C-alpha cells in the first residue's frame, strides 16, 4: 500500500522539483529499483531459507528502509538537490528490495492450497495500493508533491509492525557453503527448461512493462489529464478482479493457456497506448491502463505460483529471490536503460508518443512468440 502513495506519481514529482535535466533524473531514479533488486533479494531469500526467520528479516528491513525513505523525500522537499535524494532513496531501496520476496515466502509457507488462496492475499495488497493512490490524489492532493513519500514512510513502518507479528517462518534449508548462503544455489533451478523459459520471458517482459510507471503518468499529463495518480489506480482495480478468479482459472485451464492470455493482454495494452499517442485522445489510454492488472496477474502471479510448486520448501525463499532478480532486477534495469533512450529519441525530440508505444508493442509481440514456441507448461508430476 505504501508505494501506492508515491510510485505512480514519482515521475511527475521529480519533474515538479525543477531539477536541471529532470528527464535524466527520472531515468536514474527508476534505475535504482532494478539495481537493488539484483543485489539483495536472492541473498536475503537464502538467509530466510537457511539462517534467519523470514518475519524478523522483513521487520528489520521495513524499519531501516523507512528511515532512509523519509530522509530522501525530506531532502527533496527542502531543496537539498537531486544527489541527496538519489543517495538516500538508493539506500532505502537497497534495504527494502527483498520485502516482497519475504512476504511471499511467509504467505506461501502458511497458506493452505496456495494456488487457490494466495491470489486473495495478493489482492489485499492491490486494494491497499488503490486506496493509497486515491487518498494521495483526492484526499491529500499529493500529485506532483514530495509529501506523498512521507505517507509511504508511515505505511512502511506499519508493515514492519505487521511482519513482526506475522506467523513464525523458520529456515527450512541448511547452508552448506558461502555459495549456498549467498543464494547462488538457486541458479541450479535454471537447469529445468520450463523454469528457464518462464524466467527468461518474465525478464524480457519486465522491460516494456517498466514504462507503465515510468512514462504513463507523463503521457496522461501531456494529454491534460488532471490527477494522473487517480487514473493510474484503475490498473489496480483490474488486478483485484483478476485476483478474484485466478485460483479458479488455474484449476480450470492449463498454465500455458493462462500465461499466453496474459501476454496477449500486454500486447493489447500497448496497442491502445499507441492509439492514444496517434489520436491524442485520452479515451484510448483508459482501457490500456485498466488492463494492466490483468496483464500482471495472469502472467506474473500465475507464473510465480507455477514455479513455487516446482521446488522444495527449503528453496522457496531463493526461488522468489531469483524471480525478483530476473523481473524487478535484470529485466527492469535493461528496460529502464532502453526506455530512457527510446523516450529521448521519440518523445523528447519529436513528441512522438505513438512510435514510443508501438516500439514496445513490437517487443511484447516478440515475447509472446518466443514463449508460445518454447514453453510446454508441464507440471512437476508430468516431468517425472
Question: Hey, what CATH class is 2-168+186-374 in?
Answer: mainly alpha
Q: What is the DSSP code (8-state) at residue 253? A: S
Domain boundaries, the chain: 2-168+186-374
Distance between CA atoms of 172 and 290, rounded to whole angstroms? Answer: 40
Q: What is the pLDDT of residues 61-99, one digit of tens each?
A: 999 999 999 999 999 999 898 999 999 999 999 888 888
- Exposed / middle / buried, residue 364 (Cβ in 10 Å: 0-12, 13-18, 19+): buried
Q: Cβ distance 296 to 269 under 8 Å?
A: no
Q: Looking up cell 494521495, which residue turns up? A: 136
- Taking the alpha carbons of 343, 348, 350, 354 in that order, is the dihedral positive or negative? positive
Q: Cβ distance 182 to 322 under 8 Å?
A: no
Q: What is the pLDDT of residues 2-56, one digit of tens each?
A: 677 888 788 889 988 888 888 888 888 988 888 887 777 666 655 655 677 788 8
C-alpha cell at 128: 491497499
Q: Looking up cell 523519509, which residue turns up? A: 70
Position 137 scores a pLDDT of 79
Q: Cβ distance 335 to 211 under 8 Å?
A: yes
Q: Cβ distance 306 to 262 under 8 Å?
A: no
Q: What is the pLDDT of residues 155-192, one digit of tens each?
A: 999 999 999 988 888 776 555 554 554 455 666 777 78
Q: Looking up cell 514512510, which residue turns up? A: 153
Q: Reply yes or no on whether the pLDDT at 249 is more than 80.
A: yes
Region for residue 113 given its phi and psi (left: phi exceeds 0; alpha: psi -120 to 50; beta: otherwise): left
Confidence of residue 381 (pLDDT cuts 50, 70, 90): very low
- Exposed / middle / buried, residue 226 (Cβ in 10 Å: 0-12, 13-18, 19+): exposed
Highest-scoring range by mean pLDDT, 145-149, 165-169, 201-205: 201-205
Amino acid at each position: 500500500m505504501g508505494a501506492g502513495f508515491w510510485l505512480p506519481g514519482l515521475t511527475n514529482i521529480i519533474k515538479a522539483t525543477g531539477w536541471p535535466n529532470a528527464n535524466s533524473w527520472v531515468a536514474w531514479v527508476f534505475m535504482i529499483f532494478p539495481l537493488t533488486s539484483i543485489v539483495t533479494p536472492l541473498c536475503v531469500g537464502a538467509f530466510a531459507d537457511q539462517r534467519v526467520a523470514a518475519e524478523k528479516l522483513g521487520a528489520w528491513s521495513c524499519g531501516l528502509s523507512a528511515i532512509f525513505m523519509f530522509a530522501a523525500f525530506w531532502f527533496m522537499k527542502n531543496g537539498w538537490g537531486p544527489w541527496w535524494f538519489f543517495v538516500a532513496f538508493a539506500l532505502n531501496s537497497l534495504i527494502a528490495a527483498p520485502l516482497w520476496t519475504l512476504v511471499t515466502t511467509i504467505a506461501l509457507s502458511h497458506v493452505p492450497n496456495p494456488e487457490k488462496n494466495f491470489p486473495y492475499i495478493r489482492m489485499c495488497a492491490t486494494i491497499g495500493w488503490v486506496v493509497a493512490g486515491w487518498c494521495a490524489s483526492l484526499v491529500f492532493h499529493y500529485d506532483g508533491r514530495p509529501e506523498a513519500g512521507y505517507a509511504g514512510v508511515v505505511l512502511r513502518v506499519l508493515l514492519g509492525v505487521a511482519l513482526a507479528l506475522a506467523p513464525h517462518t523458520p529456515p527450512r534449508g541448511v547452508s552448506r557453503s558461502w555459495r549456498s548462503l549467498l543464494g547462488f544455489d538457486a541458479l541450479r533451478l535454471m537447469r529445468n527448461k520450463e523454469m528457464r523459459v518462464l524466467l527468461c520471458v518474465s525478464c524480457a517482459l519486465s522491460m516494456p512493462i517498466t514504462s507503465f510507471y515510468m512514462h504513463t503518468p507523463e503521457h496522461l499529463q501531456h494529454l491534460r489529464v488532471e490527477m494522473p495518480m487517480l487514473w493510474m489506480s484503475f490498473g489496480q482495480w483490474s488486478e483485484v478482479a483478476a485476483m478474484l478468479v485466478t485460483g479458479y482459472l488455474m484449476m480450470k485451464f492449463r498454465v500455458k493457456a493462462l500465461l499466453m492470455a496474459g501476454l496477449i493482454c500486454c500486447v493489447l495494452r500497448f496497442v491502445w497506448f499507441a492509439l492514444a499517442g496517434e489520436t491524442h485522445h485520452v479515451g484510448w489510454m483508459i482501457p490500456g491502463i485498466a488492463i494492466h492488472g490483468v496483464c500482471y496477474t495472469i502472467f506474473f502471479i500465475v507464473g510465480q505460483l507455477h514455479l513455487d510448486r516446482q521446488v522444495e520448501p527449503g528453496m522457496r525463499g531463493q526461488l522468489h529471490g531469483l524471480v525478483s532478480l530476473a523481473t524487478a532486477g535484470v529485466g527492469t534495469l535493461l528496460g529502464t536503460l532502453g526506455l530512457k533512450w527510446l523516450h529521448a529519441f521519440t518523445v523528447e525530440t519529436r513528441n512522438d508518443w505513438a512510435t514510443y508505444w508501438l516500439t514496445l508493442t513490437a517487443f511484447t509481440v516478440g515475447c509472446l512468440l518466443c514463449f508460445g514456441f518454447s514453453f510446454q507448461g508441464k507440471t512437476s508430476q508430468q516431468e517425472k
